[in-house]
Structure 1
Amino acid sequence: MNAIIFITHPEVVIDPAVPVPRWPLSAVGRARMETFAHALAGRSVAAVWSSDEQKALDGAAILADRLGAPHHVDEGLAENDRSATGYIAPPEFWEVVDQFFENPEVSVRGWETARHAQDRIVSAMGGVDAGSPDGVVLVVSHGGVGALLTAHLQDVTIGTEDRPGHAGGGCYLVLERGPLALRRSWRAMEEPAAALAAWR
């Protein structure tokens, strides 16, 4: 019963007038996270962690409140730094994301490189593991973070890792603790069985 469930935040309120890190969960995103929290109800959670971005804070607060676990924040769990460009509307945004993953050593349009972001994320996750009591730990973070973490855990080239399958986010991995290793690859929140198995 020692595991980390790494969760990507679900749908957000997209507002070009607000800095991307301050976007909150949308009503749909909050409802999906509430449903996932309900599925985990009654399980003992050692800690909940999140990045310092609003959407991750919102999701982690829902889990921590429902499950009665302490909520910790680590800015190292944040999405890759895209402040050089700010909001980019689709489909152009997804074209830039593709370049980010295809050229992990290169700063695309001034963004943090994929390699630097991956190193930061792996270090942060190691800190979460080492800094949490034994048991099941929940981490609420971001899709890009999850992809870079998965590439590390699968020991594959960035951009060739397994990816979440839900277009709105709200997917999770189940990881072994100490050392971190992939136990279950991506599942949507609507499929909680793999998460519930972490307590067995």
Structure 2
Amino acid sequence: MPVLRYITHPDVVPDPDVLVPEWRLSPTGVARARAMAAQPWVEATGRVVSSPENKARAAAAILAERLHLVVEVRPDTGEIDRSSTGYLPAEEHEAHADRFFALPDVSTGGWERAADAQERVHAALADLLVPGEADVAVVGHGAVGTLWYCRLTGQPIDRRHDQPGQGHYFTVDLVTREVLHPWRPIDAD
């Protein structure tokens, strides 16, 4: 049974002086990505797709290197556009994120609307929802991953479906297009 795994980048180094898309994986994030690449489920992966941001591409590169594959970067799979606010301290960011999910048809502080981001990521990945000879890994971001999870499971956009932290994945059966499980940590069986 071929599957698609939507994987969120692991831990990053937040830096208020660097644009968010340019943030890098932290040493912990690199270690977790390497632990992910050693998981038994990785062996069946025959395609690695990534969003364009540094942190996602770095995690995808670790996975692809393990499998001797080339990472396919898809620009429209990027994280939500929150350039209007740029870096926000953690507490303020979480408040914005809460509003983003609670009001999907409204822009929060100039951020991309959740409804628009959901449609964007779905359109950018829909062609991957077909059975192939190997599993597909998509490395991206938690918010757009959660939006896509909601779309694939037929549930309204709601933050209660959000990943419990960076570095998680969910799996989609490519024959039935059914989500097989909610978020799981990338570095645990």
User: What TM-score, normalized by structure 2, do the two folds share?
Assistant: 0.93
Q: Partners of 2:21 and 2:58 in 1: how far apart?
A: 12
Residue in 1 that maps onto 2:76: 76
Counterparts of 1:15-26 in structure 2, within 5 Å, are: 15-26=15-26
Residue in 1 that maps onto 2:161: 162
Residue in 1 that maps onto 2:96: 96
Output one character per residue of 1:165-196: Cα deviation in whole Å (capped at 9) or x when no partner. Answer: 2x3x111101111563211221112333xxxx
Counterpart selection for 1:176 from 133, 154, 173: 173
Structure 2: segments with no counterpart, 5+ residues: none
CA-CA distance at 1:142 after TM superposition: 0.5
Contact between 1:104 and 1:158, CA under 8 Å: does it hold in 2?
Answer: yes
Residue in 2 that maps onto 1:142: 141
Q: Partners of 1:31 and 1:42 in 2: how far apart?
A: 16
Q: Partners of 1:108 and 1:163 in 2: how far apart?
A: 17
CA-CA distance at 1:70 after TM superposition: 2.5
What is the percentage of aligned positions where both structures have the same residue?
37
- What's the secondary structure of 1:134's corresponding residue? coil
Structure 1: segments with no counterpart, 5+ residues: 193-200
Residue in 2 that maps onto 1:64: 64
Q: Which amino acid aligns with 1:164?
A: Q
Number of equivalences: 189
Q: Which amino acid aligns with 1:170?
A: G
- CA-atom RMSD in angstroms: 1.8
Q: Is 1:185 matched with 2:188?
A: no
Residue in 1 that maps onto 2:29: 29
User: After TM superposition, what 4+ stretches of structure 1 lie above 3 angstroms from structure 2?
Assistant: none
